[in-house]
């Protein structure tokens, strides 16, 4: 039933009740004063009730019509809906997580909700009657607030980020929306501000930015941030006509720590190194971890190489002390590459690249030292790129050749084996030795293809010799340390053996000491797997690496090859004699064959024989040569 009808019914009922009540009273009064009221009274009573009923109906109709005509019903309905809406708004206002603040048109706070109290730390009583500037943090200048008011005046609202202060003094960011409330005439009566505390979002944003720019392990800037800072430093150096230096630092043989003591200890060592470098350079310098065991330092105001070299020297010095990591006492050295702005490079990327080239030079020069970038290094780098491209072509055009160098039994002087050594028959430059292109092939990944091809050729050639009745005990093939720990090597070797049908006992694989020691666990597993194929393993260039005797004992190898550097000093150099003697004794005590490389004179061969070395290889016996030129009968005689 509509409001107007309900109201009219109420009025009619009220009238009816009052009439009946009046009739009852009058009836009672007349009865008590007049005795002959009797019949007449009965009739009058019925009439009275009838009249009361009819007039009540008339009142109902009149009232209902009047009310609907005047629109009172609709107004009452609206009022009721407004009341309901207000009640809901009040609940929302109080329950919302956003802080809400209402001011009058002069900016005096007239209302706040519960969330505002929670966010700001003030009670409602403390803020009502004050102005919102009580929350000011001081982070924004007057122009900021002017822009807010301008926006409110022009468009009636403003929203944006604003930094305010809590009661306890903490400054925090809010996302705030302010709206002007106008009356029917367009006059501003109130302002309502709704805001969210975005400090948690800001914090995680800051954390994300920090994570993207810092190394998680050491908390040092990472390569991204370091490059950015270098760019800024170069721009500032350019403005002030000064210079700066970039030191790139790489730990020597860090892999050994990782492999022998585990990654946890390795990580802790990196942290200690980072601490030491930071303490050495202090807060003003950017020390970064570029990845792995590689660090970099940006030295501002350092335009001269001599000053940069001094800083590099300090790095080497500071690394000398023992690193206490858990219960281990570790020693580690570093190599440093230096590049100086503006002398060597004009942008950050180039400066980094040049420092890297210098670092490579320092490593090659024997580690634990520093090297300064020179233009020659770039020429070298360019040369390396050219050779790598050329080498790719050489592989396709089959310009590589395998030469074989004889290995003789020192006692009988008989040729008993050969070592396969790769050569590059360059169409313009002639025969190029592996020393020139193998390191480049290793850096560019081409080495995998080269070694696979040499292995295939050598096994095939050995098969040919076998068929021709040549008595050879082995063909030795060099495997790059870059490939040795890789699982593909096993597949490659077994496939080549299967394809060529060569007896695996006739194949010897040579690996360098560093290949075995650098990634020792993977290399050890690889060695055991390769041994299951039935081939033999030799350690090449023995004595030049960092073999630990303990590790050597664990390796399933059958031969040690004494590096030619020690043989070269024979027989005059007493140190070399002592080393060669020791290596022979060591091999024999471990039941390994021992072979000396680089024998160029008969005296060297004689001394090696006297020291009971088993096998010899060198120009005195024969140079590396094409398969067809090998002289099977050659057995050079010694004097004694």
Q: What is the binding site for Mg ion (CB under 5 A)?
A: 478, 510, 540-541, 597
Site string for ligand C2E, 274-313 (x = CB under 6 A): ----------------------------------------
Find which of Mg ion, ligand C2E, none residue 232 binds, CB within 5 to 8 Å per kind. none
- Rounded to 5 degrees, what angle do the CA atoms 248, 251, 257 make? 160
The residue sitting closest to ligand C2E, measured at its beta carbon, is 618
By CB under 6 A, is residue 230 in contact with ligand C2E? no
CA distance 136 to 138: 6
By CB under 6 A, is residue 438 in contact with ligand C2E? yes
Find which of Mg ion, ligand C2E, none residue 600 binds, CB within 5 to 8 Å per kind. ligand C2E
Please say whether the beta carbons of 348 and 298 come within 8 A: no
By CB under 6 A, is residue 444 in contact with ligand C2E? no
By CB under 6 A, is residue 600 in contact with ligand C2E? yes
Structure tokens at 369: 């030292």
Report the residue from 176, 258, 478, 520 that binds ligand C2E according to the rule CB under 6 A. Answer: 478
CA distance 467 to 456: 17
**Whose Cβ is closer to ligand C2E: residue 363's or residue 401's?**
401
By CB under 6 A, is residue 518 in contact with ligand C2E? no
Structure tokens at 402: 């395998």
Give the shortest CB-616-to-ligand C2E separation in angstroms: 10
CA distance 102 to 195: 12
**Whose Cβ is closer to ligand C2E: residue 373's or residue 404's?**
404
Helix axes 434-444, 375-396, angle to 10 degrees: 90
Largest separation between any pair of C-alpha atoms in the chain = 179
Structure tokens at 457: 């050729």
**Whose Cβ is closer to Mg ion: residue 176's or residue 617's?**
617
By CB under 6 A, is residue 433 in contact with ligand C2E? yes
By CB under 6 A, is residue 598 in contact with ligand C2E? yes
Give the shortest CB-586-to-ligand C2E separation in angstroms: 19
By CB under 6 A, is residue 492 in contact with ligand C2E? no
**Whose Cβ is closer to ligand C2E: residue 218's or residue 457's?**
457
By CB under 6 A, is residue 430 in contact with ligand C2E? no
**Whose Cβ is closer to ligand C2E: residue 99's or residue 616's?**
616
CA distance 348 to 236: 12
**Whose Cβ is closer to Mg ion: residue 513's or residue 541's?**
541
- DSSP string covering 452-465: HHHHHHHHHHHHHH
Task: Give the containing element (helix H, strand E) for 106.
Answer: none
By CB under 6 A, is residue 454 in contact with ligand C2E? yes
Task: Give the containing element (helix H, strand E) for 476.
Answer: strand 474-478
Please say whether the beta carbons of 5 and 52 come within 8 A: no
What contacts 37, CB < 8 A, 6 or more positions away? 30, 31
Give the shortest CB-480-to-ligand C2E separation in angstroms: 4
Q: Which of 486, 595, 492, 583 is nearest to 540 (CA)?
A: 595
By CB under 6 A, is residue 434 in contact with ligand C2E? yes
Find which of Mg ion, ligand C2E, none residue 422 binds, CB within 5 to 8 Å per kind. ligand C2E
**Whose Cβ is closer to ligand C2E: residue 221's or residue 622's?**
622
By CB under 6 A, is residue 462 in contact with ligand C2E? no
With the C-alpha atoms ordered 63, 69, 70, 73, is the resulting torsion angle positive or negative?
positive
Find which of ligand C2E, Mg ion, none residue 519 binds, CB within 5 to 8 Å per kind. none
Helix axes 447-467, 375-396, angle to 10 degrees: 50
Structure tokens at 136: 């000011």
By CB under 6 A, is residue 597 in contact with ligand C2E? yes
Site string for ligand C2E, 519-558 (x = CB under 6 A): ---------------------xx-----------------
Residue 487 phi, psi (nearest 5): -65, -25
CA distance 8 to 68: 10
By CB under 6 A, is residue 432 in contact with ligand C2E? no
Distances (CA, A) of 118 to 93, 95, 302, 318, 368: 14, 12, 53, 53, 60
By CB under 6 A, is residue 564 in contact with ligand C2E? yes
Considering just the CA atoms, what is the radius of gyration of the chain in Å? 48
What contacts 550, CB < 8 A, 6 or more positions away? none
Residue count, binding to ligand C2E (CB under 6 A) = 23
Token pair 């007349």: residue: 30
Structure tokens at 189: 């009566």
Q: Which of 176, 169, 272 is nearest to 218 (CA)?
A: 272
Find which of ligand C2E, Mg ion, none residue 42 binds, CB within 5 to 8 Å per kind. none
SS3 616: strand
Tell me the residue length of the chain.
640
Find which of Mg ion, ligand C2E, none residue 603 binds, CB within 5 to 8 Å per kind. none
By CB under 6 A, is residue 355 in contact with ligand C2E? no
User: Among 74-82, 254-262, 377-385, 597-605, which window interacts with ligand C2E (CB under 6 A)?
Assistant: 597-605
By CB under 6 A, is residue 451 in contact with ligand C2E? yes
Please say whether the beta carbons of 359 and 250 come within 8 A: yes
**Whose Cβ is closer to ligand C2E: residue 197's or residue 513's?**
513
With the C-alpha atoms ordered 547, 552, 558, 562, is the resulting torsion angle positive or negative?
positive
SS3 365: coil
User: Among 187-195, 231-239, 429-437, 517-525, which window interacts with ligand C2E (CB under 6 A)?
Assistant: 429-437
**Whose Cβ is closer to ligand C2E: residue 344's or residue 597's?**
597
By CB under 6 A, is residue 472 in contact with ligand C2E? no
Site string for ligand C2E, 398-417 (x = CB under 6 A): -------x------------
Give the shortest CB-275-to-Mg ion separation in angstroms: 41
**Whose Cβ is closer to ligand C2E: residue 300's or residue 409's?**
409
Give the shortest CB-420-to-ligand C2E separation in angstroms: 6
What contacts 607, CB < 8 A, 6 or more positions away? 570, 571, 577
Give the footprint of ligand C2E on this chain (CB under 6 A).
Answer: 405, 421-422, 433-435, 438, 451, 454, 478, 480, 510, 540-541, 564, 597-600, 617-619, 624
């Amino acid at each position: 039933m509509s409001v107007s009808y309900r109201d009219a019914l109420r009025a009619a009922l009220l009238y009816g009740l009052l009439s009946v009540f009046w009739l009852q009273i009058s009836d009672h009064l007349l009865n008590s004063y007049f005795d002959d009221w009797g019949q007449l009274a009965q009739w009058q009573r019925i009439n009275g009730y009838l009249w009361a009923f009819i007039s009540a109906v008339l009142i109902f109709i009149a009232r209902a019509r009047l009310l609907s005509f005047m629109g009172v019903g609709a107004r009452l309905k609206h009022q009721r809906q407004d009341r309901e809406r207000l009640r809901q708004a009040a609940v929302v206002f109080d329950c919302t997580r956003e802080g809400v603040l209402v001011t009058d048109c002069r900016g005096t706070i007239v209302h706040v909700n519960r969330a505002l109290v929670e966010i700001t730390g003030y009670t409602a009583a403390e803020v009502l009657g004050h102005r919102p500037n009580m929350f000011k943090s001081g982070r924004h200048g007057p122009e900021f607030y002017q822009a807010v008011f301008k926006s409110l005046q022009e468009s009636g609202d403003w929203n944006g980020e604003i930094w305010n202060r809590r009661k306890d003094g903490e400054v925090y960011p809010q996302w705030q929306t302010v709206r002007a409330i106008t009356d029917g005439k367009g006059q501003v009566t109130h302002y309502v501000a709704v805001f969210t505390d975005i400090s948690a979002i800001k914090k995680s944003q800051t954390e994300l930015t920090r994570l993207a720019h810092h190394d998680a392990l050491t908390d040092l800037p990472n390569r991204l941030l370091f490059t950015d800072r270098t760019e800024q430093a170069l721009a500032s150096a350019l403005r002030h006509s000064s210079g700066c230096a970039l030191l790139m630092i790489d730990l020597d043989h860090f892999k050994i720590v990782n492999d022998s003591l585990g990654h946890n200890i390795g990580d802790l060592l990196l942290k200690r190194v980072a601490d030491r470098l930071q303490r050495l350079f202090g807060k003003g310098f950017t020390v970064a971890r570029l990845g792995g065991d590689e660090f970099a330092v940006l030295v501002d105001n350092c335009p001269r190489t001599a000053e940069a070299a001094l800083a590099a020297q300090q790095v080497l010095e500071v690394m000398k002390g023992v690193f206490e990591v858990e219960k281990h006492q570790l020693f580690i050295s570093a190599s440093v590459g230096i590049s100086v702005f503006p002398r060597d490079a004009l942008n950050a990327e180039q400066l980094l690249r040049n420092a890297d080239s210098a670092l490579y030079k320092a490593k090659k020069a024997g580690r634990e030292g520093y090297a300064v970038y020179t233009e020659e290094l770039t020429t070298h780098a360019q040369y390396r790129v050219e050779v790598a491209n050329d080498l790719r072509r050489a592989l396709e055009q089959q310009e590589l050749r395998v030469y074989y160098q004889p290995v003789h039994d020192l006692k009988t002087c008989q040729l008993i084996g050969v070592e396969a050594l790769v050569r590059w028959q360059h169409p313009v430059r002639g025969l190029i030795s592996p020393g020139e292109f193998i390191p480049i092939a290793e850096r560019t990944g081409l080495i995998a293809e080269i070694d696979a091809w040499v292995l295939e050729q050598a096994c095939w050639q050995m098969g040919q010799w076998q068929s021709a009745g040549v008595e050879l005990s082995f063909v030795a093939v060099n495997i790059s340390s870059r490939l040795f720990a890789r699982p593909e090597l096993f597949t490659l070797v077994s496939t080549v053996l299967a394809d060529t049908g060569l007896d695996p006992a006739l194949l010897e694989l040579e690996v360098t000491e560093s290949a075995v020691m650098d990634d020792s666990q993977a290399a050890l597993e690889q060695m055991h797997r390769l041994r299951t194929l039935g081939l033999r393993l030799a350690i090449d260039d023995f004595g030049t690496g960092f073999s630990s005797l303990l590790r050597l004992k664990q390796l399933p190898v059958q031969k040690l090859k004494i590096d030619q550097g020690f043989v070269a000093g024979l027989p005059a150099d007493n140190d070399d004699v002592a080393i060669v003697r020791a290596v022979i004794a060591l091999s024999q005590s471990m039941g390994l064959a021992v072979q000396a490389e680089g024998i160029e004179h008969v005296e060297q061969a004689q001394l090696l024989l006297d020291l009971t070395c088993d096998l010899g290889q060198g120009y005195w016996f024969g140079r590396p040569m094409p398969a067809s030129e090998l002289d099977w009968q050659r057995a050079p005689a010694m004097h004694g």
